[in-house]
Amino acid sequence: MSIIPAFESQSSLKPLSFDPAKLPGLSERMLRSHWENNYGGSVKALGVAKKQLAEALANKDTPPFIYNDLKREQLLRTGSVVFHEFYFDNLGGNGQAGAKERKTIADAFGSFDTWETEFRRIGAGLGGGSGWVMLGYNTHTRQLENYWLADHAHGPAATLPILVMDMYEHSYQMDYGAAAAKYIDAFFKNIQWDAVAARLEAADKKS
């Protein structure tokens, strides 16, 4: 296991794995803004928070409540960075799930359509607000489930992300205004199922 020191942070944005000009229903302008400003902003903010944490820890006079405020910021920014990277990495495909992925999901939910119906419904419920929808594998319960996440701090315990959809307004407002359902349709058309398959395989090895 290769472990990076606790107070270090990435200094650059993870490159997009697709051409943002070629995703049907998701404009290049919106994707680039999302990647550069929202994801990029969290990468930078996380770096600042970690630097301030190291400095505050070294100062014996730092009040615990001040330190905890920094830890909260670290938690939120870490969630934002991680979920955004999973999100962008599962975009850029043709939206067609392979037979193996369909069967795995169908085995967990009773049918592939049942899974998709629930995933979409959670997204629709988050429309106009903030949060994430995540298909995840819980290594404790050994279940593949869809999760509702209120914000960057609400990752479910012991769960590996398999498919992540951003439902913050910045992920669709530029293209669709308040029409979140149209964004969800576009998201499904662009799912990179090869990435989902790789995550399912990795999860299977840890189960």
The answer to whether residue 124 is domain-embedded is yes
User: Half-sphere exposure of residue 169, counting CA atoms within 13 Å on the CB side?
Assistant: 6
Which residues have C-beta within 8 Å of that of residue 24, sequence separation ≥ 6? 186, 189, 190
Nearest 5°: the CA angle 194, 154, 130 is 80
Q: Are 18 and 92 in contact (CB under 8 A)?
A: yes
The answer to whether residue 20 is domain-embedded is no
The answer to whether residue 85 is domain-embedded is yes
Query: Strand runs (DSSP E) across 69-142, as ranges?
Result: 132-138
Which residue's structure tokens are 């913050």? Answer: 168
Output the pLDDT for position 11.
82
CATH number assigned to the domain comprising residue 161? 3.55.40.20
The answer to whether residue 1 is domain-embedded is no
Q: What is the mean pLDDT of residues 158-162?
A: 97
Confidence of residue 205 (pLDDT cuts 50, 70, 90): confident
The answer to whether residue 5 is domain-embedded is no
> What is the number of domains present in the chain?
1
Q: What is the mean pLDDT of residues 170-198?
A: 97
Span of 4-8, 15-19, 118-122, 149-153 with lowest mean pLDDT = 4-8
Q: Is the pLDDT of residue 1 over 80?
A: no
Output the pLDDT for position 172.
97
H or E stretch at 162: strand 159-166
The answer to whether residue 65 is domain-embedded is yes
- pLDDT above 90 covers a percentage of the chain that reads 92
The answer to whether residue 42 is domain-embedded is yes
The answer to whether residue 7 is domain-embedded is no
